[in-house]
A and B are shown apart, each in its own frame.
Chain A
Amino acid sequence: MHLFIEQLINGITLGSIYSLTALGLTLIFGVLDILNMAHGAVFMFGAFTAVLIVSKLGLPLWVGFLGGCIVSGLLGYALEMFALRPLRRRKNTSPLAPLISTIGVSIILENIARALFGSDTISFRTSISDINFKLGEIDINLINLVILAVSFTITILLYFWLKNSKSGRALRAVSENPDTAAFLGVNTSKVITFTVVSASCAGGAAGVLVAMAFNSVNNEIGLAMGLKGLAIIILGGMGSVNGAVAGGILLGLAETFVVAYGDSGYKEIIGFIIIMAVLLIKPQGIFGTTQKVKV
């Protein structure tokens, strides 16, 4: 029985990290209608920065965490400035242009990471990574709880910030209809930049959590996490925040339990099976809204 609970904890921890990553993707999609394919790469850079700060410079973990978020935020700013803003200025670009441009950015970031950090896995020894304790039969390590705590606090913070803070409402207004929002005096371009930066910070935070959870970072994790993020926001409903959280937890549990009770060979492919199933049966996902085509 305790095996089930241990796997449950594994699943929820993994799920909470997936939700945090997906949050970043959903925010950008909600406001800009763009699937940010570079999100995985930003996520990876957050992880690498944290590892650099903690392992190489020997600073405490929370400094690493902040460092990770700030660097990914800067990357988000650069992404918005060089890749997305020129696209917005041109009038009738195809919806594919931002998709391809962000793919370009992800190729750049991945190869810079490989050149800077090499292609090997770098270990991430933190003070709390080795403490674990037994709760009755069950082995729990502190790291899982820290990750759960951090990811939930960030999710809830984002949730309330969106719901009742002024800039949060402005963001939702822009995501509903950019033109009317501008008409009502919302400085849309500032809000858009702010969204991309905050989404990238969330991605960076998720990156640091992964580094903490699995004690390792290499430049392959970006791509895998990016694609999983897509599966989550499609499952949860594009642009819906609670969809991203629920989708993340669901995918985390699904992957863990397919391993625990099924064939662990299918762990990586669950994400894609979900994408195909959801798109064919309920394209707008659990919480999404259907976009009506007006004639």
Chain B
Amino acid sequence: MLSYLNSYYIQIGSFTLINIMLALGVYVPLSTGQLSLGGAGFMGLGAYLSAIAVTRFGLPIPFAIVIAGGVSTLAGILVGVPSLRLKGVYLAIATLGFGEVIRVIFIKWETITGGATGISAIPLISAGTVRFLTEQNIIDSSNKNVASDLTVFLILFLITGFFVWFFVALKNTRIWRANSAIRLDETASESIGINIHYYKVLAFSQSAFISAIAGALYAHTVSYISPSDFTYHRAVEALIFTVLGGSGHVLGAVFGATVLTIIPEALRFLKDYRYVAFGAILVIMMAFKPEGIITDNIFRKIRKK
């Protein structure tokens, strides 16, 4: 059965799931009105921390990913607190700056991060399971590859699924009402008893955590990372997934990331003009439907029917 599955599509599936996590990394702070383009920086941080922990210190992969997430959350708080003073576009540019500075640190710290050559031969998250399956000879060497890709996909699916479920569950609760209140009007929110600093830094560090986990999983999916993986383009891509999908709703980020990861693959026949189409979609969407495709009133209408 396994050989029937084609790892080309599984691979695209795995990248879609990673992009969904990155889109959530933009969605969560956006729900409190903070536009963060630091996703790429935290993703890089997560990827490098986990890769170094596994390749240099031999930690088991799940443990390394958790550490990468934890440390990046602290970094998120360290960046989040000072950026409370910044609003709108300034915050976007400052977090973009943070991402670039992190990338240069990866280039400069050669002894630890391998500099521009990056870190290679990072074991895949599916390594453990595949070894177990081969011992039980459920799979043999012919479909070992597909099995490993499938395990990677399933692990990613579980983690992404948990994040998406977590934020859907959080939707109509006290915490999310506070976040939306802050997004709509900070002064009013503070005067009805919401500690806006606490919730903004909470959202920012949640975003750092999710982006770092996405980075760590990315490292253990492609087994080679270099500073050029976490550039300005990656941060902008995450923003576009969320905004196009619909920045008002969790499923908007999911929809945006899925469609915009599959479209470039599907537009592969356009060759150079593929990205021109990508850019054009952006401009058209912003002109005619800035709140994105999935919005609250779609669900409200569905509920009404």
Contact = CB atoms under 8 A, between A and B. Distances in A.
Direct contact between A and B in the complex (CB less than 8 angstroms)?
Answer: yes
Interface of A: 35, 82-83, 86-87, 90, 93-101, 103-108, 110-112, 114-115, 223, 227, 230-231, 234, 265-266, 268-269, 272-273, 275-276, 279-280, 283, 293, 295
Contact of A273 (B86, B101, B107, B281): B101
B232 A223 contact: yes
Contacts of A295: 187
Contacts of B281: 104
A276 B104 CA distance: 14
B287 A83 contact: yes
Contacts of B104: 265-266, 268-269
Interface string B236-257: 1001100100000000000000
Interface string B267-298: 00000111110111111001110100000000
A275 B93 contact: yes
19 contacts: A87-B287, A94-B290, A96-B35, A103-B236, A104-B280, A107-B279, A111-B275, A112-B276, A115-B272, A227-B96, A227-B232, A266-B104, A269-B101, A272-B97, A272-B100, A273-B101, A279-B83, A280-B94, A283-B85
Contact of A105 (B88, B90, B232, B279): B279
B279 A279 contact: no
Contacts of A104: 279-283, 286
Contacts of B85: 280, 283
Nearest to A226: B232
B293 to A, nearest CB: 14
Given A269-B104, A275-B97, A234 B90 contact: yes
B268 to A, nearest CB: 14
A99 B90 contact: no
Interface string B61-100: 0000000000000000000001101101110111011101
Contacts of B274: 111
Given A107-B276, A275-B94, A295-B187, 12 more contacts: A101-B282, A101-B283, A103-B239, A103-B240, A105-B283, A107-B279, A108-B276, A108-B280, A108-B283, A223-B232, A269-B104, A279-B93
Contact of B283 (A82, A111, A279): A82
Nearest to A104: B282
A276 B94 contact: yes
A115 B90 contact: no
B97 A114 contact: no
Interface of B: 35, 82-83, 85-86, 88-90, 92-94, 96-98, 100-101, 104, 107-108, 187, 232, 236, 239-240, 243, 272-276, 278-283, 286-288, 290
Contacts of B82: 280
B89 A99 contact: yes
A83 B283 contact: yes
Contacts of A279: 83, 86, 90, 93-94, 97
Task: Name which of A87, A104, A106, A223 has the most chain B CB atoms within 10 A of its CB.
Answer: A104
A41 to B, nearest CB: 10
A83 B92 CA distance: 20
Contacts of B107: 265
A283 B83 CA distance: 11
Nearest to A35: B89
Contacts of B236: 103
Contact of A265 (B96, B101, B108): B108
A293 B98 CA distance: 27
A101 B94 contact: no
A98 to B, nearest CB: 8
A293 B276 CA distance: 39
B279 A111 contact: yes
Nearest to A227: B232
